[in-house]
Amino acid sequence: MQPFTGSFTQQEPIAEEAIGAAVEVLRSGRLHRYNTTGSEIGAAAELEKAYAAYQGAAYCLACTSGGYAMATALRALGVGAGDKVLTNGFTLAPVPGAIAGVGAEPVLVEITPDLVLDLDDLEAKIAASAPKVLLLSNMRGHLCDMEALMAVLDRHNVPLIEDCAHTMGAAWNGRKSGSFGIAGCFSTQTYKHMNSGEGGLLTSDDPEFMARAIMLSGSYMLYERHGAGPAADVFEDIRLDTPNMSGRMDNLRASILLPQLAGLETNIDRWNARHDLIADRLRKMNGIYVPHRPDAERYVGSSFQFLMPEVGAETIREVVERVRALGVELKWFGAAKPVGFTSNHQSWRYMPAQKMPRTDAILAGLLDMRIPLTFSLEDCAHVADIIAHVVGQTLQKGAA
């Protein structure tokens, strides 16, 4: 086996068009989103308008990060100290962090082997915890049955905030991820679907909610300079009742995101071609389970996951080490200590410990891989071959 030499953390360069737009903002000196002259619309406001249109949302707020978007959504919904917030047992640290950031308490819900929220456990946790909201994490781009989810939430009157850090551009039965609940939260951090280094987008159709979010983001009394905000009269009382918790996006970041948004659909096709090539190759293997993707789901294959459900920790460790020796980086969510971006609920000791037997059993066999667009289709075939080779050999050795 030839080793693979590509970098799993290397994103594509920022396109010349975006660099040109950024240089223009730099030359203007007007980087702050409210530093506009006359009727000029700054890049941050332009981005809000363009992203609201892309998402099919009435309103959009550009802010500093995906984590900030989630915390702001919770605050704008009135979630505060001591409130219970449901979220997935399998997610990344900024999600429970956003909940803890508003003083609320995360209540974890089990996931299924397809890496989505377990709706039966959701119903049980709703009954047991009287939650203020579900902060649904569409972790690694896997969508649960959104219609079934909404039926459960509607039945119990639990509002929904969607963490769409991995589902920007994804949809369920043609409806965009992020448009099912009161708010969708997106990240434009380097490793997500658009890259401004850091950045976040919050979308909603609810005018009062969005007015509170805009005030929270630190808009002073300049909310009329937003690109996709509610009418001024909605702010009448809200502007005096809502604290300023600075988290604005600047025009520099927004200027490099605008051209990327125009190319997002093309990039989704490129990601899915890479993802599907790897998934199709590995789905056929014994000892591997590739999570099922329902027909209703339009996913964005910016990463790939598979499970080795029938083997112990030793075997998984061996697979991870042997693919690494051949240049392939697999993250194992079942590792005893968090490594890099892998994170599981046992490493969030600031919140009450929770028994998650089904999620733990799934994470114990879950392997995860980034798919950067700098990989060609040939690169992806090479990576899949290495994984297939190592898994095959390791399992054979175990059986011998």
Nearest distance, CB of residue 92 and ligand PLP, angstroms: 4
**Neighbouring residues of 240: CB distance < 8 A, sequence distance ≥ 6:** none
By CB under 6 A, tell whether 217 contacts ligand PLP: no
Minimum distance, C-beta of residue 356 to ligand PLP, in the bound complex (Å): 17
Considering beta carbons, is residue 50 or 202 the nearer one to ligand PLP? 202
CA neighbours closer than 13 Å in the CB half-sphere of residue 234? 16
Residue with Cβ nearer ligand PLP (174 or 340): 340
Tell me which residues in 47-66 interact with ligand PLP (CB under 6 A). Answer: 65-66
Does 165 participate in binding ligand PLP (rule CB under 6 A)?
yes
Q: Which is nearer to ligand PLP, 219 or 343 (CB)?
A: 343
Dihedral (Cα; 230, 234, 238, 243), 10-degree rounding: 20
**Taking CB under 6 A as the rule, does residue 94 contact ligand PLP?**
yes
Q: Please state, in angstroms and rounded to a whole number, the distance separating the CA atoms of residues 295 and 297.
A: 5
Q: Which of residues 133-162 bind ligand PLP (CB under 6 A)?
A: 137, 139
95 binds ligand PLP (CB under 6 A): yes
8 Å CB contact between 277 and 381 = yes
Q: Which stretch binds ligand PLP (CB under 6 A): 21-29, 87-95, 281-289, 305-313?
A: 87-95
In 82-234, the DSSP E strands lie at 84-88, 105-109, 133-137, 160-163, 171-172, 175-176, 183-187, 200-204
Q: Tell me the CA distances in angstroms from 38 to 42, 225, 229, one per residue in order.
A: 11, 11, 19
Q: Does 366 bind ligand PLP (CB under 6 A)?
A: no
Q: Is 355 a catalytic residue?
A: no
Quick one: which of 371, 354, 326 has its CA closest to 90? Answer: 354
Give me the least distance between CB of 194 and ligand PLP, in Å please.
Answer: 11
Quick one: which of 36, 55, 72, 91 contacts ligand PLP (CB under 6 A)? 91
Pick from 28, 22, 79: which is nearest to 253 by CA? Answer: 22
Q: Crossing angle for the helix pair 377-399 and 313-325, nearest 10 degrees?
A: 140
Nearer to ligand PLP, 138 or 315 (CB): 138
Of 192, 331, 337, 355, catalytic? 192
Report the alpha-carbon distance of residue 154 to residue 148 in Å, rounded. 10
Q: Please report how close the Cβ of residue 395 comes to ligand PLP at its closest, in angstroms.
A: 30
Binding to ligand PLP by CB under 6 A, coded x per residue (else -) over 169-208, reads ------------------x-x----------x--------
> What are the CA-CA distances from residue 169 to residues 9, 228, 298, 358 (Å)?
21, 19, 8, 29
For ligand PLP, which residue of 44, 61, 73, 92 counts as binding (CB under 6 A)? 92
In the shown chain, the binding pattern of residues 266 to 295 toward ligand PLP, with x for contact by CB under 6 A and - for none, equals: ------------------------------
Q: 67 or 372, CB closer to ligand PLP?
A: 67
Burial of 269 (0-12, 13-18, 19+ CB in 10 A): exposed
d(CA 343, CA 89): 11
Active site residues: 192
Residue ranges in contact with ligand PLP by CB under 6 A: 65-67, 91-92, 94-95, 137, 139, 163, 165-166, 187, 189, 200
